[in-house]
Chains A and B, each alone.
Chain A
Amino acid sequence: MMRERYLNGLVLLLLFTVPLWALINDQPFTITLATRAAIFALAAVGLNIALGLGGLVSLGHAAFFGIGGYAMGILAYHAQTYTPVMEVPFVIDGTKSMPVIWLVAMVTSGLAALLIGLLSLRTTGVYFIMITLAFGQMFYFFSISWIAYGGEDGLSIYIRNDFPGLNTLVPINFFAICFTILCLVLLINGLVARSPFGLALNAARQAPQRVQTVGLDPQRLKLAAFVLSGVITGLAGALFADLNRFVSPTMFSWQTSGEIMIFVILGGTARLCGPVVGAVVFVMLEHALGGLSEYWHIYLGALLLLVVLFARGGLVGLIAGRGVAHD
């Protein structure tokens, strides 16, 4: 049984050193894999804030992932074709600058999360799961029919966007950007979880009526958590689009929502680094099992099943034991 803190440190250290090792051994693809894991981890950390802290099981988080991705896609597309995004009522040009794109991605997904949250939080339990799924599906079908940005074919962005001072096409540089963002977000996550807001949210998840008697509004707490969660997943979406230099409606699909949820559950819900562990393990499995057989999904399914049945609390729970009191 390892203290959770040490496990977190170990995981992050591993995620940091493996790409360095790959750099020395000239294996750029491993760096790309690590970047993919880091971005998925970021998306899952976002979901974990709503899911683990807030108890909101959102099966539509791909909506924010996709919004972030399309924010990047649309801005970069207009930049590479030298046309403005819109001319009326005021001119907005495309941009290839990462910080600007991230800002736009976060703001738009935050606004979407606000809207979706306001409507969905009127329901609870399975109904909440379904209504979030419904919103995800609406975005999915809408993006397929939005021919201006590729529709089902998606949008290809030919070169990676710019980050001041770095050549972002070099794999290790882009990995560094994603990893730094992941660590920053984890730090924020940790701080939030321990802040008065985080404590109140935790209480609201477990005993909403008591929170109300103390004078706080559990609905507002949950909405705030949902919006924060959407913002982070949106940022991950923009980074994902940059990694693949491609954006498509698949980013909005319910399968993507399911995958992000798997990262969280696999790693350990409500654990700080649970999403990171989940994402890393999933990416490794996807990569390694694919070589075993054409029917490797069977092995993946069997493994996931074993984890659910015998490793309550996910992988982090297995290694670090039960954490802070949970229901």
Chain B
Amino acid sequence: MKLKSLILTTAIAALASGVSAEGIKVGMITTLSGGGAGLGIDVRDGFMLAIGQSDRSDIEVVIEDDQRKPDVAVQLADKMIQSEKVDVMTGIIWSNLAMAVVPSVTAQGKFYLSPNAGPSVLAGKGCHKNYFNVAWQNDNLHEAAGAYAKGIGYKNSFILAPNYPAGQDALTGYKRMYQGELAGEIFTKLGQTDYAAEIAQIRASGADSVFFFLPGGMGISFLKQYADSGVALPVVGPAFSFDQGILQAVGDAALGVINTSQWNKDIDNVTNAAFVKTFQAEYGRLPSLYASQGFDTANLLISALETAHPDDANAFRAALEAANFNSTRGKFEFGPNHHPIQDIYAREVIKEGDVYTNKIIGVALENHGDAYAANCSF
């Protein structure tokens, strides 16, 4: 009797520990060199902060640099799946690299948790049951900007974005929610740094507001030139040109601009406060939305690991879908296509002492999903 119950308890203990104590390997491919490295570094730092703060010692993270090149990303993905034998992959910042890597990763049965890129194809027609996006669908922040513009009463916006798929998605997203008149719509050249011509057109157009999506150096250039030009129309944009990493380079030119984001450092909940504090203590700088996305992705993963292991794909998937973790954004849930349904805030760029940062001034969209969920079926 005693022996039997001993064996039984041991068996149950083994079973239970087999579920949660077996380690996993995570493959992170992100941009750590070259011009856009700031975003990848933020995502990595946020992710690793969460991994470090968890009590688990069985999560191994392999990190590689994709140099923002699609063919390098594909090669690294192959290496991680074939050589490193990872269970879960994450990390890609840019939509074009995501489009190169994600379809084949998910087709090979691995899970992919996106901490940033959210192309519309992967949210709609090209969705896959193993693909989860923890940040947003690409259009979301632009839709929120449009909703804010409409709410505040802008009637004649001038909109511009670079001439590439993410730029086109940005203007489509803005127009979806804004529904006012357009004083002008310009597609600039990708990588363009001189916006004098565009600003001259804005001045001549009679617009009452400006919306732009110009990530990275493009946004910095535009803001500086716009501020210097004397065209004092109010500016709205997504957080991508106003994140913590970029603001310091823009300076006063960004003050007062309204931008939309699903996260800000002053969102009032315990997890977020702890996140901002520990991130600053660990890395010596304030976190950006990218860092928060990395942090949330890691915590989502850890929460799923509490109840399932990727070897049991269906159970792990269900655990991910449940999204039973404390997000820096407060409430967090996935829609049917594994993209978030969340509040998107409007924030204003302010100066706190010596540091430029953002402050939330309102909610632009509440419980917002994405426009492509209906096309997704798996």
Whether A and B touch directly in their complex, counting CB atoms under 8 A apart, is answered as yes
Q: How far, in angstroms, from A29 to B103 measured CA to CA in the complex? A: 19
Whether A153 touches B33, Cβ cut-off 8 Å, given contacts A28-B83, A246-B70, A246-B74, is no
The residue among B32, B70, B79 with the most chain A CB atoms within 10 A of its own CB is B70
* Pairwise interchain contact B83-A244, C-beta atoms closer than 8 A: no
Q: Contact string, A140-151, partner B, CB cutoff 8 A, digits 1/0?
A: 000011010011
Q: How large is the interface on B (under 10, 10 to 19, 20 to 34, 35 or more residues)?
A: 20 to 34
Look across to chain B and name the residue whose beta carbon is closest to the beta carbon of A158.
B103
Cβ of B165: which chain A residues have Cβ within 8 Å of it?
A: 147, 150-153
Q: How far, in angstroms, from A250 to B165 measured CA to CA in the complex? A: 15
* Beta-carbon contacts under 8 Å, A142-173 to B: 144-145, 147, 150-154, 156, 158, 171
* Beta-carbon contacts under 8 Å, B305-360 to A: none
* Pairwise interchain contact A151-B164, C-beta atoms closer than 8 A: yes
Cβ of B83: which chain A residues have Cβ within 8 Å of it?
A: 27-29
Q: How far, in angstroms, from A151 to B82 measured CA to CA in the complex? A: 30
The residue among A144, A246, A248 with the most chain B CB atoms within 10 A of its own CB is A246
Is the CB of B377 closer than 8 A to any CB of chain A? no
Is the CB of B75 closer than 8 A to any CB of chain A? yes
Contact among A240, A246, A290 for B100, CB-based, below 8 A = A246
Whether A152 touches B96, Cβ cut-off 8 Å, given contacts A147-B165, A158-B104, A245-B104, is yes
Cβ of A33: which chain B residues have Cβ within 8 Å of it?
A: 75
* Beta-carbon contacts under 8 Å, A278-327 to B: 290, 294-295, 297
Is the CB of A97 closer than 8 A to any CB of chain B? no
* Beta-carbon contacts under 8 Å, B61-106 to A: 64-65, 69-71, 74-75, 78-79, 82-83, 95-96, 99-100, 103-104
* Pairwise interchain contact B75-A244, C-beta atoms closer than 8 A: yes
Q: Nearest Cβ in chain A — how far from B100, in angstroms?
A: 4
Cβ of B79: which chain A residues have Cβ within 8 Å of it?
A: 29, 32
Is the CB of A36 closer than 8 A to any CB of chain B? yes
Cβ of A245: which chain B residues have Cβ within 8 Å of it?
A: 74, 104
Q: How far, in angstroms, from A246 to B82 measured CA to CA in the complex? A: 18
Look across to chain A and name the residue whose beta carbon is closest to the beta carbon of B104.
A245
* Beta-carbon contacts under 8 Å, A223-265 to B: 240, 244-246, 248, 250
Cβ of B69: which chain A residues have Cβ within 8 Å of it?
A: 250
Whether A156 touches B78, Cβ cut-off 8 Å, given contacts A145-B163, A250-B71, is no
Which residues of B does A touch, CB under 8 Å? 32-33, 64-65, 69-71, 74-75, 78-79, 82-83, 95-96, 99-100, 103-104, 107, 119, 163-166, 168, 190
Which residues of A does B touch, CB under 8 Å? 27-29, 32-33, 36, 144-145, 147, 150-154, 156, 158, 171, 240, 244-246, 248, 250, 290, 294-295, 297
For this complex, 13 residue pairs linking A to B, each with C-beta atoms less than 8 Å apart, are A29-B83, A144-B163, A144-B164, A144-B190, A150-B165, A156-B100, A156-B104, A158-B104, A246-B71, A246-B74, A294-B33, A294-B65, A295-B33
